[in-house]
Structure 1
Amino acid sequence: MRYNLIVSYEKLEDWENAKQAVADYLENYPDDEAAQKEAAFLETR
């Protein structure tokens, strides 16, 4: 559910909230490779 929040922010082009959401997500799930890729993607925004 929390991962979907990140994707939703991205679709809204709300990059700052997406970055914060992925950072929060990775604190709880640091081994999630998909979230790590999202975080790398968001660094370019």
Structure 2
Amino acid sequence: MSSPTMVEPLVTNSLFILLMLWLLATPYVFLAYYHYAVRPDL
């Protein structure tokens, strides 16, 4: 029912939100890797 002009902004916003979440989560992934793989005794 919805036209492509309504769908495209939703897809763009979803991809932008996913990119922002990935950028925010990346440092925590590296910290977790460093904590468990490099310094497991901490």
TM range (shorter): 0.3 to 0.5
Q: Which has the higher helix share?
A: 2
TM-score normalised to the size of structure 1?
0.36
Q: TM-score, normalised by structure 2?
A: 0.38
Larger radius of gyration: 2
Q: Which has the higher contact order (CA 8 A, sep 6+)?
A: 1
